[in-house]
Each structure stands twice: as C-alpha cells, then as structure tokens.
Structure 1
C-alpha cells in the first residue's frame, strides 16, 4: 500500500475508487467498507484510495477523545487490507474552511478523478460538516461518478463504531471491544527507560510510550506481549502512578519469567482482561503486595 502524506504530494490520477474517514481502530465496520471498495477497485480496474486526516477533525476542534490506534498502528492495520493508496490530508485551519462541494471538485474529482465513492452511513465532511451522502449523490449525476453508502453493522446487538469501542474499553470490557474491532485491542511502541521504581520492589517493567494524548484504556490488565519474534505474558499498568505523584499517563509491563535487556525494541501489548482500576497506596510495601495479587490474577486468567 502506497502512503501519500499531504495533498502537495498527490499527483493527478487517471481514475480511482475512494473512501473517506478517520478509521480509528480499523474495526469490523471499517473493514467491511474497505473490502467492498477493494472489490469495486478490481472490478473497474482502478486503484483504491483511502483518505484519512491528521490530526482528526475532533482533535483539531478541541474535542479531544481517546485514540484506538496511533497513526503507525492504523496504517499497519490498513496495509493488511489490500488497499492501493492511503492518502493522509493535513487537517488545518485552511482545510477546515473548505466547503464540502469544493472538496469534492478540487480533490476527489480534479486530483483523484474519482469514479466511485463508498462511505459509511454516518460520514460528514467539509466546512460545518455540510457534506453528506445526499450531497455526493446529487453531484454524482453531473460529475460522472457513482456513490454508495454502507449501512452500519451490529455486533452483539450494538452498532459498531469507534466511539462504542472506546466506551467498552473505558469500562474494562476488552472482550466485547475486541469483537467489534475484529482483533484484540493492542498498543505498540518502542521500549524506553523508565524510573526503575518497579525494579526496586522486585517487579522490573518495560516501559512503552502510548503515542496518543488520551489512552483508551486505564488500569491494571492481564496482557500478552509480542517482542522480538516471541510471545510472553504479563501484567500491564496504564496510569499516572499516583504513589509518586505522577501526572503523565504511562504504560508499564511486568513480564513473567523474563530477564533480558530489550531497550529500543518494538513491543506489542495485547490487552486480554482488566484486573482492576489504578489506585493509590500508602507506601511501596502496600503496592508490592497488591502487585503480587495482580500477578497471580493475571496468571490465573491467562492459563485458563
């Protein structure tokens, strides 16, 4: 899959099939849209183009929300779906003022020469979110393209959406979230040095930057870890570490039966089960006692 960063790097296409959205988490609803787009791409003999935005419109307009996937994680998930091109548009002040009809004409038609467009049933675009399926449908008649709308899909009698998955993760329901995603929720990043407080109480951890302003998970979890071609088990803490007055949300993992130097390596933390919420402790002795219980709970869950 070809990655194009910014409209300035986009060359005019002879024709294309297009979908547009944030695709946060690349859940089963997104995958349905992309599967249909790829199928139409092959039928028409035209390249498939997925358009997403950075930052997201919500973030740009200070409606910050937890991200299910970092840019790197999202691009990696998309690259597994047989798309031809991922176009990332920089969402800035100038772009936010672009009228929906102008976006269609200048980018989708003039640049991409769009012949087919597939969008989700809740998609809106353009200044003041005035762009819709109905607008695309009305323009298609004179502009020579076809537009189709994909209805939402249900999982466990609930509409699949990124916001629904965020709610499930916030409540600790990793299993239902994974069903909506179509894959287990995970966070990937390179291992960095921490403060080594865990080592001092007998629980050395690996530390990974979360790479998002707001984490969709918070608390203590049983996890598996993919690292350097092997899979391990462990306990993961995502939180602010109140015992030391922490402010920044950090991700730390204690791996069972592990004693290697792995700084700089990339690790994938796969969230299996929430054990408890993060809380403060009177001292490190009390924290150590709780971690011992967390480790046992995680081992019990992961071995059953």
Structure 2
C-alpha cells in the first residue's frame, strides 16, 4: 500500500472512499470491500482518503472522544484489507476552511482523478457541511452511498465500539471490530521497576493520550509473526506518580529483547481498574494475583 500526505494519483484514475475510519470496524470494512470490487472492475486504484488528526480532535481537542486506533493501527488495518493507496490529509486550518466544492475540485478531481466515489450515509465534508452523496452526484464521476451497517440489532459505529470497550465488554467490541481491540506502539526504556520485582515488562508510551479504557487486562502481544500471552496495565501508574498513558506488558514464559520494536497488543479481558498502592510490596502482591488470574483465564 502506498501512503501519501497530499492528493495525487498513482498513474491511473482512482476509486475513492473518504472518512475518519477510526477503528476500521466491520462497517468500514464493507466500504473497503465495495471500493476494491469497483476498482478491480473499472481498472482503478483503490484509494482511501482519511485525516490526521481526526476533524473532531482539531475542533475540540479536550472534548473529542478517545481514539480507537492511532494512525499506525489504521494504516495496518487498511493495508491488510487490500487498500492500494492511502491518502492521509493533514487536518489543519487550510483544510478546515475548504468548502465542499473546493475539496472535490482539489482533492478528488485534480489530485486523485476520481472516477468512482463512495461515502457512508452519515458522512459530511467541507466547511459548509454540504459534502454528501447527493452533493457529489453533480460531478462527472459515479457515486455510491453505503448505508450504516448493522450486526443483529446493533449499529456498527466507532461510538458504539468505544462504549463497549469503556464498559469492559471486549468480546462484543471484537465482534464489531472484526479483531480484538488492539493497541500498537514501540517498546521504549521505562524505569525498569518490573525487573526489580521479578516481573519484566515491555513499556509502550502511547501517542494518543485520551484512552478508550484503562485498567489491567489479559492480552496477546504480537511481534514478528509470534504471539505471546500476557497481562498488561493500560493507563497511568499512580503508585509511582506517573500519569502518562502507558501500556505496560508482562509476557508469560518469554522475555524477548523488544526494545525499539513495534508491538501489537490485543486486549482480551479486563481484570480490574487502575489502583494506587501504598507500598511497592502491595503492588508486587497485586501483580502476582493479576498474573495468576490471567493464566487462569487462558487455561
């Protein structure tokens, strides 16, 4: 998959879908599947246009909802789905001031040479909010509007998934996502406190500070084709006075050298919330109890 920061086509016209794609859930996957089919039948490049940061984060950084997926997770998921070209437009003051008509002219027509464009039925673009499927139909390319997808009685949406994750209903969230809820980051050096108490950890300092959930979780950690079982603390570490958004993973029966490596961590089951302990001994005892509970969950 090719990744661009500005709209440009890759030598042939494009089939395009546009959106935030937070979580790349099953509704998004239906959009991408239709995109790929149309691109293949028409000889076009299957192209996804998304934004970084997400528009709501630009307009209201404090009030925007927690991210389901950082950009690197979004890239991974869209590549796995077979997208050929991902255009990540910087959402800044210039893009924010762009009208729907200018977006079509500059991005879809001049930039991507779009011949087929698909949007969800709840998607709007442009500073005038005029950009929807009906607006697009006045242009000289074919337009498809995808209705909201449902699974049983549940509407598949990033908002619904965010609520499930916050409530600890990870199995239901996985059903709507199409995979376990996954966080990705690069392993960095922490305080190495875990090693001093016999519980070495891989430490990931997450780039998106507003988390969809916090707590202690049973996890799978994926690295270079291998899967490790483990337990993880997601969120601040109040016992040691660190309030940053850490993902601290202890792997069972393995201690690979992961420093500098990218790790994909799947949250499988929530054991408890974040707690502050009065002593390191109390923290150590709780960690051992968490490890036992996680091993029992796997067995």
TM-score range, shorter chain: over 0.9
Relative to structure 1, the CA distance from residue 235 to residue 119 in structure 2 (aligned partners, 3 Å threshold; closer, same or farther) is same
TM-score (norm 1): 0.92
Partner of 1:94: 94
Deviates more, 1:106-115 or 1:281-290: 106-115
Task: Please state how far the C-alpha of 1:275 moved relative to its aligned partner.
Answer: 0.5
Work out whether residues 13 and 112 of structure 1, in 8 Å CA contact, stay in contact via their aligned partners in 2: no
The 3-state SS of whatever aligns with 2:102 is helix
* Residue 210 (1) aligns with residue 206 (2): yes
* Residue 162 (1) aligns with residue 158 (2): yes
Task: Please state how far the C-alpha of 1:147 moved relative to its aligned partner.
Answer: 1.1
Partner of 1:18: 16
Relative to structure 1, the CA distance from residue 261 to residue 103 in structure 2 (aligned partners, 3 Å threshold; closer, same or farther) is closer
Distance 1:222 1:77 in 2: 22
Post-superposition CA distance 1:128-185 (Å, at most 9, x none)? 4332222123x1xxx3222111111112421111121111111111111111111111
Work out whether residues 177 and 185 of structure 1, in 8 Å CA contact, stay in contact via their aligned partners in 2: yes
Work out the number of aligned pairs and report it.
297
Work out whether residues 9 and 113 of structure 2, in 8 Å CA contact, stay in contact via their aligned partners in 1: no
RMSD: 1.7
Distance 1:29 1:245 in 2: 40
Relative to structure 1, the CA distance from residue 87 to residue 260 in structure 2 (aligned partners, 3 Å threshold; closer, same or farther) is closer
The 3-state SS of whatever aligns with 1:295 is helix
* Residue 145 (1) aligns with residue 141 (2): yes
Task: Please state how far the C-alpha of 1:265 moved relative to its aligned partner.
Answer: 2.2
Task: Please state how far the C-alpha of 1:80 moved relative to its aligned partner.
Answer: 1.7
Post-superposition CA distance 1:189-241 (Å, at most 9, x none)? 22111112222222221101222131223100001112344222111001211
Partner of 1:41: 39
* Residue 252 (1) aligns with residue 239 (2): no
Distance 2:266 2:86 in 1: 25
Distance 1:61 1:135 in 2: 24
1:267 aligns with one of 259, 263, 267: 263
The 3-state SS of whatever aligns with 1:39 is helix
Distance 1:15 1:262 in 2: 42
Distance 2:161 2:10 in 1: 36
Distance 1:198 1:233 in 2: 17
Distance 1:156 1:298 in 2: 31
Post-superposition CA distance 1:17-47 (Å, at most 9, x none)? 1100011111110110110011011111122
Task: Please state how far the C-alpha of 1:84 moved relative to its aligned partner.
Answer: 2.1
Post-superposition CA distance 1:68-124 (Å, at most 9, x none)? 222121111111222221111111101101111221122212322222111111101
Distance 1:259 1:145 in 2: 54
Distance 2:282 2:256 in 1: 27
Work out whether residues 200 and 255 of structure 2, in 8 Å CA contact, stay in contact via their aligned partners in 1: no
Distance 2:250 2:103 in 1: 48
Distance 1:249 1:206 in 2: 14
